[in-house]
Amino acid sequence: MNRIYFDNAATTPLDQDVLDVMLPFMTEKFGNPSSIYSYGRESRLAIENARKSVAKILNAHPGEIFFTSGGTESSNTAINAAIHNLGCRHIISSEIEHHATLHSVEHLHVRDNIKLSFVKLLPNGHVDMEHLRELLATSKERCLVTLMHANNEIGNLLDLHAVGNLCKEFDAIFHSDTVQTVGHYPFDLRNTPVHFINGAGHKFHGPKGVGILYINENVKITPFIQGGSQERNMRAGTENLYGIVGFARALELATTHHEEHKAYINGLRMYMAEKLKAEIPGVDFNGDLYGRSLYTVLNVGFPKTEKSEMLLFNLDINGICASGGSACTSGADAGSHVIRAISSNPNMIAVRFSFSKNNTKEEVDQVVAKLKEII
């Protein structure tokens, strides 16, 4: 059976070009970057060149880029640092954050008695900026605002500059989970009012198990993981050498082809949305599909019937990969916390389709035909 992979917001296949640059560091260039002899110096140079490449693409200083194991570690580091190093005693977040953020802030709220507020959401899933201003203005303690740049389930995009400027006005620390947007959108971090952002290589055809944390040069924090002096004393543990090299190469490729891929992928997304509307009665879309929205994600609401309740299962049987929300909870029966937060309609089944440069219109046609048949 030919499988159709429409779950690229969960992970993407590794580019051959990325694998090619990683392979030498898995074999003959295997030195520990902390070693002082030639093997180690070779590895150290590869890491620092990767850091410079990533920093240049994001318009940051190389000293602001730290390599981690991925988005979850990066978010945890930033959120904990804001509380333990930067004097924040009030966290403002939203109910539709990724669990890497949501569970972190809830943990700090329970364990350390940190005040936790959730900003209201508009009916289309966007953050209510007036309520955010109100929360910041009335807070007696210094705030950490942690709001994701693009929602991984419904695709809504946050205005980073608007939120960042609001945080600046009230002397708040701003962390944005940018896992869905690093590698998909251009960044200009020198001119973006944000203290922390993060990225994960596997979201843009890079390797799994490697990510970045951007820490603004004006912010001073202590390590989240204790141990050796790697990553300039900020992230202990022997570096994921080939992962770091792969991350940088994947980001270079994504940046070079950004405009072309964005136009192509968004074309697929909107083509599928229009076909679904034409072919399946009662279909709706979650999030701000026709507004400020991630070009890779289409979250579809299907009318709830006996057949549609088994939709993901039936798609899987037919070789079609999609998810019922976040990939990290796609095996759970609890459903999507994001959809629950923005929709009170119990008669809709939400399915997320997410696309990459490797998908085709022919695949969209096949999936829509199969959906019509199943439903």
Note the helical H segments in 27-159. Answer: 38-58, 71-84, 99-112, 129-138
Contact residues for 262 (Cβ-Cβ < 8 A; gap 6+): 184, 295
Q: What is the pLDDT of residue 328?
A: 45
Look up residue 142 and give its two tokens: 């210094």
Q: What is the pLDDT of residue 332?
A: 42
How many Å apart are CA 375 and CA 221, to the nearest integer? 53
Q: What is the pLDDT of residue 330?
A: 44
Given a contact cutoff of 8 angstroms between Cβ atoms, the answer to whether 284 and 348 are in contact is yes
Look up residue 53 and give its two tokens: 């490449």
Catalytic residue among 143, 167, 321, 328: 328
Question: Residue 197, SS3?
Answer: strand
Look up residue 342 and give its two tokens: 């923005």
Domain segments of the chain as ranges: 4-12+258-374, 16-256
How many Å apart are CA 209 and CA 116, to the nearest integer? 30
| DSSP label of 262 | H
How many Å apart are CA 32 and CA 214, to the nearest integer? 24
Q: What is the pLDDT of residue 309?
A: 76
The question of whether 321 is a catalytic residue gets the answer no
The total number of residues shown for the chain amounts to: 375
Q: How many CA atoms lie within 13 A of 68 on its CB side?
A: 27
Q: What is the pLDDT of residue 151?
A: 97
Q: Which CATH architecture has domain 4-12+258-374?
A: Alpha-Beta Complex (3.90)
Q: What is the pLDDT of residue 53?
A: 98
Question: Residue 71, SS3?
Answer: helix
What pTM was estimated for this model as a whole?
Answer: 0.95
Contact residues for 143 (Cβ-Cβ < 8 A; gap 6+): 88, 90, 91, 92, 135, 136, 167, 170, 172, 173
> What proportions of the chain, in percent to the nearest 5, are helix, strand and coil?
45, 15, 40
Q: What is the pLDDT of residue 325?
A: 54
Given a contact cutoff of 8 angstroms between Cβ atoms, the answer to whether 84 and 107 are in contact is no
How many Å apart are CA 18 and CA 366, to the nearest integer? 30
How many Å apart are CA 116 and CA 110, to the nearest integer? 9
Scored b (16 or more CB within 10 A) or e, 114-135 reads beebbbebeebbbbebebbeeb
Residue type, 177: D
pLDDT means over runs of 10, the chain (375 residues)? 94 98 96 95 97 98 98 98 98 97 98 98 96 98 98 97 98 98 98 98 98 97 95 95 98 97 98 97 95 97 84 94 64 73 84 97 98 92
Contact residues for 73 (Cβ-Cβ < 8 A; gap 6+): 211, 213, 224, 225
What is the topology classification, in CATH, of domain 16-256? Aspartate Aminotransferase; domain 2 (3.40.640)
Taking the CB of residue 99, how many other CB atoms lie within 10 A of it? Answer: 14
Sign of the CA dihedral with 155 first, then 160, 161, and 167 last: positive
Q: What is the pLDDT of residue 22?
A: 98
Beta strands in 122-252 (DSSP E): 143-146, 173-176, 196-200, 211-215
